[in-house]
Amino acid sequence: MVESDESEMAVDYLVNTVNACRLTLRQDEYDRLMWAADQLGSADDVTDIDTQLLVAASDEV
């Protein structure tokens, strides 16, 4: 999707998948996702991730 110039949609799908499947993210994973989305101009979409899915390093799943 990124190669097809649909990066915003790609990030949006990824965020929706994380939320719908209740996938937990460590802070470093969230930071990398935010960095990549920022490079694609879609960082605002990442903030839609449910904050309950973010886990501290000591709570890794």
- Please give the structure tokens belonging to residue 51: 């904050």
- Please give the structure tokens belonging to residue 27: 């802070």
How many helices and strands, by DSSP H and E, does the chain display?
3, 2
Q: What's the distance, CA 44 to chain centroid?
A: 10
Q: Which pTM was predicted?
A: 0.79
Strands (E), the chain: 25-26, 54-55
Burial of 46 (0-12, 13-18, 19+ CB in 10 A): buried
**pLDDT tens string 2-49:** 666 778 888 999 999 999 999 999 999 999 999 999 998 888 989 999
